[in-house]
Amino acid sequence: MSDISIRIEGCAGRITLQRPDALNALTYDMVLAIEAALDDWRGADIDLVLLDAEGDRAFCSGGDIADMYKSGQEGDLDYGRRFWRDEYRLNAKIFEYPKPVVSFLQGFTMGGGVGVGCHGTHRIVGDSSQIAMPECGIGLVPDVGGSLMLALAPGRLGEYLGTTATRMGPADAIYAGFADAYLPEAEWGALKAQLVQTGEIPDLTAIPPEGTLQALRPQIDYHFSGETLADILRSLASEQTEFTAHALKAIGRNAPLAMACSVEITHRLRGARSIRQALDQEFRYTYRAVAQGDFIEGIRAAIIDRDRQPKWAHEGPDKVKDIEVAQMLLPLGSEALNWEDMP
């Protein structure tokens, strides 16, 4: 079985991720295959694109980053930069696609999975759905266009979700703008069959189980409204509550420089509407991440050695200097993303 199935069925172009044992993590070849299919289907006689995945545990847990670690260890900076450059182009194409894109997001949808599954027009979640941007845990910033979704989320949810990597169930994902509709997963098969047969997308009115983010909004907005990560930390440290304790613990696990840059990118994008603006900001960080950030150490601790004990470049989140954030997010000049080849 190949890693991905791409075909036309009835009124739909269908893309199914087929790496359930690897939580459907995206390989570089899968990224290129999805992009090629979307390019081919622009003029095809289909009404919509249907994205789904095999297995119950995940739609897509993220990008397959083991090869990035290997190449980075060998001093090869080009592989990661090429992967991100091509992946970000795919993310933009999904966001801007001229036909409806319907995605079914069971289980884990994280990182690179958000980039594929959460930029379409109709993003469907079920009871098992767990959506998150956990990149700061491996020394990256929320990317694949996820920074735009964070910036457009209600209140200060963007800063909160980006720095704490909080997982969202179906109601929270809809509330934060990462999903559109809830449907019990037992009904997904019938809906997919209807989409293939008719090419028409029905209104989905089922109500998901209650989430937690909306009730937490007052605390999130209060503590995560600072201009910098240091401001957020000071606010959280000023109160001893269950919420602040949980948030500080989550922040304490993640890479300080990545979190500080995530907060800055979120602020820069607030009010933006183009995914290209977000991807440009993200690429400034990821372009430099292998050589200058905590990315290699983050992968080592989470994926390679799995000791969950990363040794970040900064001793704590309060040790990051503003100049370091500015340097990671400087324009890339001739190395910046090139949108000239985009439709």
What pLDDT, on a 0 to 100 scale, did the predictor assign at position 124?
A: 98
Is there a contact between 12 and 41 (Cβ–Cβ < 8 Å)? Answer: no
Is there a contact between 28 and 63 (Cβ–Cβ < 8 Å)? Answer: no
Rounded to whole angstroms, the Cα distance separating 91 from 95 reads 6
Rounded to whole angstroms, the Cα distance separating 219 from 236 reads 10
Query: Smallest Cα–Cα separation from 157: which of 89, 204, 91, 223?
Result: 223
pLDDT average, residue stretch 151-166: 98
Query: Smallest Cα–Cα separation from 226: which of 241, 238, 216?
Result: 238
What pLDDT, on a 0 to 100 scale, did the predictor assign at position 1?
A: 56
Q: How confident is the model at residue 146 (pLDDT cuts 50, 70, 90)?
A: very high
pLDDT average, residue stretch 195-214: 96
Residues across the chain? 343
Rounded to whole angstroms, the Cα distance separating 266 from 142 reads 9
Query: Smallest Cα–Cα separation from 3: which of 23, 133, 125?
Result: 23
Rounded to whole angstroms, the Cα distance separating 191 from 188 reads 5
The residues, ordered by sequence, that sit 6+ positions from 35 with a Cβ below 8 Å of its Cβ are: 86, 89, 90, 93
- Cβ burial of 205 (10 Å; 0-12, 13-18, 19+) is exposed
Q: What region does 223 belong to: left with phi over 0, alpha with psi -120 to 50, or beta? A: alpha
What pLDDT, on a 0 to 100 scale, did the predictor assign at position 11?
A: 98
Give the least confident one: 229-233, 277-281, 337-341.
337-341
Rounded to whole angstroms, the Cα distance separating 209 from 188 reads 17
Tell whether the model's pLDDT for residue 66 goes beyond 80. Answer: no
What pLDDT, on a 0 to 100 scale, did the predictor assign at position 236?
A: 98
The residues, ordered by sequence, that sit 6+ positions from 182 with a Cβ below 8 Å of its Cβ are: 124, 125, 126, 170, 171, 174, 204, 206, 207, 208
What pLDDT, on a 0 to 100 scale, did the predictor assign at position 40?
A: 97
pLDDT average, residue stretch 123-151: 97
Phi, psi of 2 (to 5 degrees): -75, 170
Phi, psi of 238 (to 5 degrees): -80, -10
Q: What region does 145 belong to: left with phi over 0, alpha with psi -120 to 50, or beta? A: left
pLDDT average, residue stretch 118-129: 98
Question: The tokens of 146 are what?
Answer: 């996820």
Tell whether the model's pLDDT for residue 182 goes beyond 60. Answer: yes
pLDDT average, residue stretch 150-156: 97
At residue 201, the 3 state secondary structure works out as: coil
Tell whether the model's pLDDT for residue 192 goes beyond 70. Answer: yes
Rounded to whole angstroms, the Cα distance separating 304 from 283 reads 24
Residue type (1 letter), 207: I
Over the stretch 298-313, which tens digit does the pLDDT of each residue have? 999 988 889 989 999 9
Ordered domains of the chain (ranges, CATH): 1-132+170-210 (3.90.226.10), 136-164+212-343 (3.90.226.10)
Tell whether the model's pLDDT for residue 64 goes beyond 90. Answer: no
At residue 130, the 3 state secondary structure works out as: strand
pLDDT average, residue stretch 103-115: 97
Is there a contact between 313 and 261 (Cβ–Cβ < 8 Å)? Answer: no
Give the least confident one: 6-10, 19-23, 314-318.
314-318
What pLDDT, on a 0 to 100 scale, did the predictor assign at position 293?
A: 80
Strand ordering across the sheet containing 181-182: 4-9, 12-17, 48-53, 101-105, 122-125, 181-182
- Tokens 């000049």 locate to 333
What pLDDT, on a 0 to 100 scale, did the predictor assign at position 71?
A: 79
End-to-end CA distance of the chain: 32
Query: Smallest Cα–Cα separation from 209: which of 189, 188, 183, 191?
Result: 183
Read off the pTM: 0.96
